[in-house]
Amino acid sequence: MRKIKIFDTTLRDGEQSPGVSLTMEEKLAIAEQLSLLKVDVIEAGFPISSSSDFESVKNIAQKIRDVEIAALARANYKDIDCAWEALQEAEQPRIHVFIATSPIHMKYKLQMNEEQVMERAVEAVKYAAKYTNNIEFSAEDASRSELDFLYKLFEKVIEAGASVINVPDTVGYAIPQEFGEFIKKIKENTRNIEKIELSVHCHNDLGMATANTLIALKEGADQAEVAVNGIGERAGNAALEEVLMALVTRKDYFEDLVVTQDTTKILKLSNMVSQFTGMVIQPNKAIVGKNAFAHESGIHQDGVIKERTTYEIMKAESIGLNSNKLILGKHSGRHALKEFLTSSGYTVDEETFEKLFIKFKDLASKKKNLNPLDVEALINDELYKTEDYFKLKYLSVTTGNTTLPTATIKIARGEDLIEKAACSGDGPIDAIFKAINEIAEEENITLISYKIEGVTEGTDALGETTVKLKIGEDVYVGHSVETDITQASTLAYLNALNKYMTKKLQTAKK
């Protein structure tokens, strides 16, 4: 039996998705959930890329235990020094060094030949080895690289001290059968390959990232590099949930491969990543989409009623769906909510619990039937919100088919100052956002996207609102859940602004 390592790159490659910008608190929350899911490696970021990424990697390295923490570095001393400085307090640190190896990348991007790339790669691995013996080397764009060059390169970096060799399909160019053969040849023709772990990192440009990852594992790869919900650069990465559930569900085919993750944590993690990134999961998304375990066809429904396995190859409970049977409502007390929090994997102090309990009772008084998803959305909204520089004090909206939509709003700004604004707009939400902008007095605020979705069914469902603002050159994602969609929209917009203000004030202190 061969253990397959799950290397999650949601916080590094996943955050490179267009329009995604996670706060340090959000990254730590995702890392904590990845730890509960028991992934083997968390790639926490690219420290040299920004001071915020450096601090985020450092924070995760200090606080997450029992998981290898990796940081990305280009094949140069400065990047490697920075990666180690961020990682050094990790229980199991890993430096992840990369350099491009395909003819097109070497010629146009690096402007280096094969000998120069090999020399740079070997020097970088040797340099990283002075810090740790846990070194991963990636040959960027490996799937479009010459195999003979890769055999020699991998042999040299293994001699230099690499403990993991990663073969990325960087632009999602590979076809499964071709990629499987590619991995097989690397295994057969690279000297000392048996001394290291062989990894793959597949992108989804042609929609085959998961398939390419699985065939690579079948042909001898030891590690799968994945991202939650398949997010990442361009069309994204192989999805953690798809690779993991394929290995678990089809263990008859992958009979010699073993994974040790807790799959019941998948859905909660998936929803958290979707909420923090503002990237809505498509309903028909494999494993975690809302329709993944839904049946509309009468024939299918009849079959599932008679025998679940006629149309369901996995149990919904295996990914954490409907796993919490505790019924919560307006008569539920503190003990019931505490039990829900504990069974769902949340740890909160008493002060935070009391805030949650007040919000929970308020929601229960408005909504007759509470779904666990309602409560989880409420909890995530409270636990992971940023510090409030702008606080909503009053909101009044008038609208109608013969009325000019108008919003009047009062916002506490900073410690004491309360400001008021009234604006009209094309609709009530437009009026609200204009009023907030008038108070915020920040230039160059652009609304990139605004989404609202019911957490569950029914007219009394919580409205989950996501707002993306571009302020200057950066993007900020705001989120809120409320039964009143105008209030949810207001709080989501303020949440995005508060993330901006937090970063602005932190920068001013430095």
Q: What is the CATH number of the domain that holds 136?
A: 3.20.20.70
Residue 307 pLDDT: 79
Q: Do 174 and 263 fall within a single domain?
A: yes
Q: Which domain holds residue 91?
A: 2-277
19: left (phi over 0), alpha (psi -120 to 50) or beta: left
46 and 187 in a single domain? The answer is yes
Give the range among 136-140, 142-146, 287-291, 422-426 with minimum mean pLDDT.
Answer: 287-291
Please check the confidence at residue 415 and state whether its pLDDT lies above 90. Answer: no
The reply to whether 403 and 334 lie within a common domain is no
Q: Who has greater pLDDT, 56 or 374? A: 56
Given pLDDT bands bounded at 50, 70 and 90, which one contains residue 483?
Answer: confident
User: Distance between CA atoms of 194 and 169, rounded to whole angstroms?
Assistant: 21
Q: Which one-letter amino acid corresponds to residue 447?
A: L
Of 31-45, 262-276, 449-463, 464-478, the least confident = 449-463
User: What pLDDT does 340 receive?
Assistant: 82
**8 vs 384, more confident:** 8
User: Is the pLDDT higher at 117 or at 414?
Assistant: 117
Asked if pLDDT for residue 44 goes beyond 70, the answer is yes
Beta bridge partners of 412: 391, 418
Question: According to the model, what pLDDT value does residue 352 have?
Answer: 87
What pLDDT band is residue 28 in, cutting at 50, 70 and 90?
Answer: very high
* Residue 283 in domain: no
The number of folded domains in the chain is 4
Name every residue whose Cβ is closer than 8 Å to that of residue 268 and which is 6 or more positions away in sequence.
33, 320, 344, 345, 376
C-alpha of 423 from chain center: 36
- φ, ψ for residue 235, nearest 5 deg: -85, 5
φ and ψ at residue 224, rounded to 5 degrees: -110, 125
The span from the CA of 207 to the CA of 3, in Å, is 26
Task: Choose one of 355, 370, 385: the last residue of a domain.
Answer: 385
Tell me the pLDDT of the chain averaged across its residues.
92
Domain end marker among 335, 364, 385: 385
Which pTM value belongs to this model? 0.88
Q: For residues 339 and 420, which has the higher predicted lDDT (pLDDT)?
A: 420
pLDDT at position 324 over 60: no
Is the Cβ–Cβ distance between 49 and 273 less than 8 Å?
A: no
Mean pLDDT score, 473-494: 92
Picking from 269, 358, 394, 263, the residue whose alpha carbon sits closest to that of residue 317 is: 263
Q: Are residues 225 and 114 in the same domain?
A: yes
Domain membership of residue 452 (yes or no) is yes
Same domain, 40 and 188: yes
Q: How far apart are CA 436 and CA 403, in angstroms?
A: 21
| Cα distance between residue 200 and residue 162, in whole Å | 15
Strand order in the sheet with 463-471: 445-454, 463-471, 474-482
pLDDT reported for residue 212:
98
Least Cα distance to 492 among 451, 458, 456 occurs for: 451
| pLDDT greater than 60 at residue 347 | yes
Q: Would you state the structure tokens that stand for residue 183, as one six-digit string?
A: 């991995």
Answer whether residue 323 shows pLDDT above 60.
no
Domain match, 376 and 395 both: no
pLDDT at residue 325 greater than cutoff 80? no
**Which of 361, 385, 409 is the endpoint of a domain?**
385
pLDDT of residue 289: 92
Whether 14 and 227 have beta carbons less than 8 Å apart is answered as yes
Tell me the pLDDT band of 502, cut-offs 50, 70 and 90. confident
Residue indicated by tokens 């604006």: 423
Is the per-residue pLDDT at 384 higher than 90? no
- The verdict on 343 and 406 lying in the same domain is no
Check whether 56 has a pLDDT greater than 70: yes
Q: How many of the other CB atoms lie within 10 Å of CB of 472?
A: 12
How distant, in Å, are the alpha carbons of 322, 483, 487 from that of 327? 11, 19, 27
Asked if 460 and 338 sit in the same domain, the reply is: no
pLDDT category of residue 326 using cuts at 50, 70 and 90 = low
Q: How many helices (H) and strands (E) does the chain have?
A: 16, 16
Token pair 């040797």: residue: 126
- The per-residue pLDDT for 153 is 98
Residue set of the binding site for Mn(2+)? 13, 201, 203, 237
What average pLDDT does range 257-273 have in this prediction?
A: 95
Band of residue 345 on the pLDDT scale cut at 50, 70, 90: confident
Binding annotation: 13, 201, 203, 237
Is residue 296's pLDDT more than 60?
Answer: no
Which residue reads 């805030």 in tokens? Answer: 355
- What angle do the packed helices 350-366 and 334-343 form, to 10 degrees? 110
Q: Measured between alpha carbons, how far is 325 from 322 in angstroms, rounded to an integer?
A: 7
Position 368 pLDDT exceeds 70:
no
On whether both 225 and 123 belong to a single domain, the answer is: yes
Query: Backbone phi, then psi, for 406, in 5-degree steps?
Result: -135, 140
The better pLDDT of the pair 454, 224 is held by 224
Report the C-alpha gap between 270 and 274 in whole angstroms: 6
pLDDT band at 387 (very low <50, low <70, confident <90, very high): confident
In the chain, what percentage of residues exceed pLDDT 90?
71
Task: State the pLDDT confidence band at 329, using cuts at 50, 70 and 90.
Answer: confident
C-alpha–C-alpha distance, residues 187 and 2, integer Å: 15
Residue 390 CB burial class (10 angstroms; 0-12, 13-18, ≥19): buried
Ranges of H-type helices in 327-410? 334-343, 350-366, 372-383
Residue, of 63 and 352, whose pLDDT is higher? 63
**Could you write out the three-class secondary structure of 69-88?**
EEEEEECCHHHHHHHHHHHC
Digit-coded pLDDT (tens) for 203-261 = 999 999 999 999 999 999 999 999 999 999 999 999 999 999 999 999 999 999 999 99
Counting beta carbons within 10 angstroms of the beta carbon of residue 351, is it exposed (0 to 12), middle (13 to 18) or buried (19 or more)?
exposed
Which amino acid makes up residue 428?
Answer: P
149 and 297, same structural domain?
no
84 domain-assigned:
yes
Model confidence at 19, pLDDT cuts 50, 70, 90, reads confident
Q: What is the pLDDT of residue 294?
A: 75
Q: Is residue 226 assigned to a domain?
A: yes
Cβ burial 392-405 (10 Å sphere, 16+ → b, else e): beebebebeeeeeb
> What CATH number did the domain enclosing 447 receive?
3.30.160.270
Q: What is the DSSP secondary-structure string of 104-117?
A: HIIIIII---HHHH
Whole-angstrom CA distances from 272 to 100, 195, 243, 280 are: 33, 37, 19, 11
- Are 136 and 162 within 8 A, CB to CB? yes
Residue 327 reports pLDDT greater than 80: no
Examine the pLDDT at 420 and tell me if it is beyond 60: yes
| pLDDT score recorded for residue 495 | 93
Q: What is the pLDDT of residue 298?
A: 62
Residues 440 and 451 in one domain: yes
Q: Residue 463 CB: number of other CB atoms within 10 A?
A: 20
Specify the amino acid at residue 152.
Answer: K
Residue 302: per-residue pLDDT = 66
Confidence of residue 422 (pLDDT cuts 50, 70, 90): very high
Cα angle value 100/103/108 (rounded, 5°): 75
The reported pLDDT for the residue numbered 247 is 98
CA distances from 216 to 143, 206, 245, 262, 445 (A): 12, 17, 16, 23, 45
171 with 267, same domain: the answer is yes
For residue 284, being part of any structural domain is answered with no
In a domain, 439, yes or no: yes
